[in-house]
Amino acid sequence: MTAKVIGLMELTDQKAFELYRSKVGQTVELYKGSIQNRGTVTEVFWNELNCTRFDAFVELTFPNQEAAKAWAHSPEYQALVAIRNNAMKLTLFAVAI
């Protein structure tokens, strides 16, 4: 079953974000994933869960939940976490399709 990974981001440092963005795709591809969509949030219609503000999102696709989890915990991705932490606040979650 295909897995989607969704990231909701509040960008805090554009320069760090560009560096992170230039490297993260390679780590996704190592685990047979792909970046499907990226974009900016233009409007929030409801926020009944009281989520913190986010202004960008990413949608990744992996062949299955195991590949998505392996990527998220991989040494390749973990090597980018310090850059990511400078670039943004992130909520990252997987959904089964």
Report pLDDT digits (tens) over 14-34.
999 999 999 999 999 999 999
pTM here?
A: 0.92
What CATH code is carried by the domain that includes residue 37?
3.30.70.100
Domain count, the chain: 1
Which of 80, 74, 85 is CA-nearest to residue 24? 80
Q: What burial letters (b/e) apply to 76-91, b meaning 16+ CB within 10 Å? A: ebeebeebbeebbebe
Residue 35, domain extent:
3-96
User: In the chain, pLDDT over 90 holds for what percent of residues?
Assistant: 96
Which burial class, exposed, middle or buried, applies to 60 when counting CB atoms under 10 A from its CB (0-12, 13-18, 19+)? buried
